[in-house]
A and B are shown apart, each in its own frame.
Chain A
């Protein structure tokens, strides 16, 4: 069974070749064996075996089951899941039990996915290392002593170590793609407005997007299909009922235009570019056409992103005032969360509005225009995900050094693009993720290229 991809596993479960109970028991055993060391889960779900048996009974009776039938899924701790704690890995929300399901969780349950528990993360998704959780750092199962990346650190580590089949993360400036790259798994940040955000605790509402982490491309496509589509209660969504990627994920590279940019190389450590160059060569050899695209202001995306994010985060955290639940955020949060709140408060001052915030929104437009132009010349952009290798767990690095991890991922959030990450080689034994960025609603093309590279 170890050779199956996620889609094949679902088919095996539906055909009775593998039972849901066997699959979930295997996941629980792995959690028992490995999570003490990795710390990928903040809380596990107690009723999973009961739920697994229900699905097995449905299959035995010949009833139709959903597209996620029998898969064990981890949920990032900032996504409300009824009966489990949505702590955002913060002391502010310690012990907070969700009274309702986020729309994405409802959809997973409707498709017969099994919620294994709540994954660890950087506190309030503020971090790129997986070290800022109030419940302790997560270890990288694919690179000993290195950070797993963040902020969806627990989900990526849980998938990489076999503790769950799939995980749901959230991506504001790379929080799915960065840990996917460091842990050697597949991740996808869907186009902003494709997946409902209702029930996600905001970090930065104009950037946040929920998406999948998986061991393979079929799993990312499957979970995205399950959670995507209009939620009528949201005002920033595409009017799409559903999406179909599994049917469209066929390897067809002939004539596909692959965009590459010299800016990617400029911003990235040379050793990381070696596997990326190899991937680009492979795509060209398979019939894709390489197109050099111009992204003159790409490096300006990072400071612009952090400015907008700080303002939105300051606004989003005002509800954690300690009156309705727990303690006031500023009194118990970690240093990075506090840094972003203080910065957001400072920038939100009236006299700075035009000088900084509105100016940042203008540069956001500029970067979006440049990316849109580039994606008129090319079907997808291919490049690295993270410009440097992950640092050692516990190593003291400055905020600036931490933010530098996000140079190549934040542009997709600023521009509202979709972007996927696929493990592609290693440097010094550490996984390197290749990033494929596509236009708004270009998930099928992105997954197609990822699938072609996965088959290599």
Chain B
């Protein structure tokens, strides 16, 4: 992070904005498009409960991704700086 040139990156962000401002000049106002396809108010169905095997597998994979754990397999968390 320290060796990355933030000023240069910020400059390139400004360049993109400037080039966008240039190309958009004079174009007519339009409605805004957020999504090409939008189905609102989707209600999720309950689905089938996971099998015991799937749950075990999920736990195994989930534990692999824990930041850290103790000898008994419990999740170890870092205390936030503001709580110290």
Contact = CB atoms under 8 A, between A and B. Distances in A.
Contacts of A200: none
B21 A356 contact: yes
B61 interface: yes
B32 interface: yes
Interface string B49-79: 0000000011001101101000000000000
A10 B76 CA distance: 48
Contacts of B14: 346
A306 B16 contact: yes
Given A192-B37, A304-B20, A363-B24, A82 B61 contact: yes
A4 interface: no
Given A232-B45, A235-B38, A342-B9, A98 B16 contact: no
A238 B37 contact: yes
Given A82-B61, A363-B30, A366-B27, A236 B17 contact: no
Contacts, number: 130
A97 interface: yes
Interface residues of B, number: 41
Contacts of A253: none
Measured as residues with beta carbon below 8 angstroms from the partner, the interface class of chain A is 35 or more
Contacts of B82: none
Given A97-B64, A307-B17, A297 B10 contact: no
B58 A100 contact: yes
Given A83-B61, A99-B65, A100-B58, A307 B16 contact: yes
Nearest to A99: B61
A360 interface: yes
Q: Name A's interface SS.
A: helix
Contacts of B20: 303-304, 307, 356, 359-360
Interface stretch (A31-39, A138-146, A278-286, A330-338): A330-338
A304 B6 CA distance: 23
B2 to A, nearest CB: 10
B13 A343 contact: yes
B16 A235 contact: no
B32 A361 contact: yes
A235 B58 CA distance: 26
Contacts of B39: 235-237, 239
A339 B12 contact: yes
A366 B23 contact: no
A387 interface: no
Contact of B28 (A100, A330, A343, A366): A366
A45 interface: no
Contact of B33 (A238, A342, A359, A365): A365
A303 B16 contact: yes
Contact of A343 (B9, B44, B61, B67): B9
Given A360-B24, A365-B31, 5 more contacts: A300-B27, A303-B16, A307-B17, A352-B17, A440-B37
20 contacts: A191-B37, A193-B37, A206-B34, A206-B36, A238-B37, A239-B39, A303-B19, A304-B20, A307-B20, A342-B10, A342-B13, A343-B12, A346-B14, A346-B17, A352-B17, A360-B20, A363-B27, A364-B33, A365-B31, A399-B12
Interface of A: 82-83, 95-100, 191-193, 206, 232-239, 297, 299-300, 303-304, 306-307, 310, 324-325, 330-332, 335, 338-339, 342-343, 346-347, 352, 355-356, 358-366, 368-369, 399-400, 415-416, 440
